[in-house]
Amino acid sequence: MTAYVIAQFNVTDCEGFEAYRRAAPSVIEAYGGRMLVRGDTITSVEGETDRPRMIVLEFPDKAAAERFYNSPEYQEIMPLRRDNSVGTVSIVESGL
């Protein structure tokens, strides 16, 4: 069953975040993921959000998404994201 990693965040240091943005795609691909959405403009049609950026990654299944997130390669670059942004990261399995 396909799984998605969904991150919604607010970048607090654009310069610091840039290193993460450059490093992440190769790690995502190495674990079978692909980027579906990388958006800096969110239009809320219901409710409000204080996190104007969203990333949606697709993986073949939940296990692959978890392998990516817990991988040594991602754990190495994760501080670049955490130190330079505030937000949430979730793994969601497709029910379809």
Q: Give the separation between CA 18 and CA 21, rounded to whole angstroms.
A: 5
Q: Give the separation between CA 61 and CA 65, rounded to whole angstroms.
A: 7
Query: May I ask the CATH architecture of the domain 3-93?
Result: 2-Layer Sandwich (3.30)
DSSP three-state, residue 84: coil
What residue segments make up the domains of the chain, in order of their start?
Answer: 3-93
The 8-class DSSP code of residue 60 comes to: S
Residues 6+ apart with CB under 8 A from 15: none
pLDDT tens-place values along the chain, 96 residues long: 999 999 999 999 999 999 999 999 999 999 999 999 988 778 888 887 777 889 999 999 999 999 999 999 999 999 999 999 999 999 999 977
